[in-house]
Amino acid sequence: NAGVTQTPKFQVLKTGQSMTLQCAQDMNHEYMSWYRQDPGMGLRLIHYSVGAGITDQGEVPNGYNVSRSTTEDFPLRLLSAAPSQTSVYFCASRPRAWVSTDTQYFGPGTRLTVL
For position 19 contacting other proteins by CB under 8 A, the verdict is no
- Cα–Cα dist 29/26, whole Å: 8
User: Where do the DSSP E strands lie in the chain?
Assistant: 4-7, 10-13, 19-25, 31-38, 42-51, 54-57, 64-66, 76-78, 87-94, 105-106, 110-114
Single residue of 90, 93, 112, 114 touching other proteins by CB under 8 A:
90
- Per CB under 8 A, does 105 bind other proteins? yes
> Would you say 13 or 32 has its CB closer to other proteins?
32
Q: Which of residues 70-89 bind other proteins (CB under 8 A)?
A: none
Q: Which of 15, 26, 56, 69 binds other proteins (CB under 8 A)?
A: 56
Q: Determine, following the binding rule CB under 8 A, whether residue 99 of this chain makes contact with other proteins.
A: yes
Strand partners, 35: 45, 90
Bridge partners of 77?
20, 65
Q: Which residues bind other proteins (CB under 8 A)?
A: 4, 31, 33, 35, 40-45, 48, 50, 56, 58-59, 90, 92, 97-109
